[in-house]
Structure 1
Amino acid sequence: HVSVVSQEGLEYLRSCPAGKWDIAILDVNAQSPDSPLEAPPEDFVTREALGELARVTKGGGVAVINLLCSDPALFTTILQRVQDAFHGTVCTLRDTGENADENCLLFALNMRDPDWPPATK
């Protein structure tokens, strides 16, 4: 089952129950031509907002963040914040081809659940 929520994102994150989503996708355009951060807006990549994103993602769940940032230092800062919020488990997917832009997908595994990963027998 898939549910799509379309409303003010930060407001939704703050009001959403903990552990509600197996997968949470953050794909928001910044709409700021002067910023090196095109997606998502800076308000969505603060420590507080990323903590809320981790909170609403189930233990063992994944948050996917569409990140478009032309400033390498800012990219590194945001990546560190995501790693902090999700306890270090982040995979990046980036096109490195000849015509690639700065677009990157971050896959953050929520390791906050002490029962995840499940023990193997």
Structure 2
Amino acid sequence: MINGQRKAHDRFIALKNNDISMKNLKIFLGCCLAIACFSIQSASAQKGGIMLYGSLNYHETAAGHQFSAAPVGVGYFFNDNMNVGINYGFNNAYTKALDFTDHSHEVGPFYSNTWPLGNILC
């Protein structure tokens, strides 16, 4: 092989190996999520209960990286079916080509009515 072709081939193999490891990571995290969901099936909303939720994300490419929360929040159950709370989201993105970092933030209240699916589906 010519030297340039060899480098391209090596980069392809490295990308392929990285894709395989990312696929394994996604499968592992999916299994952990499924186990967690089935393990806490007895959890239910109750008056006075507190709900925590959120999603943290990190993504990195050759062009830059991004870290965000879309959104994270906390809520309080006033009765078994009604909760209110506040959520917060942010995004921090860096672009190498422009040497630029962008920041954004959001905050807001929420209200939600919930119904147990056990009585409806069974």
TM-score, length-scaled by structure 2: 0.30
Task: Between the two structures, name the one with larger relative contact order (CA 8 Å, sep ≥ 6).
Answer: 1
Q: Which has the higher strand share?
A: 2
Q: Which has the higher helix share?
A: 2
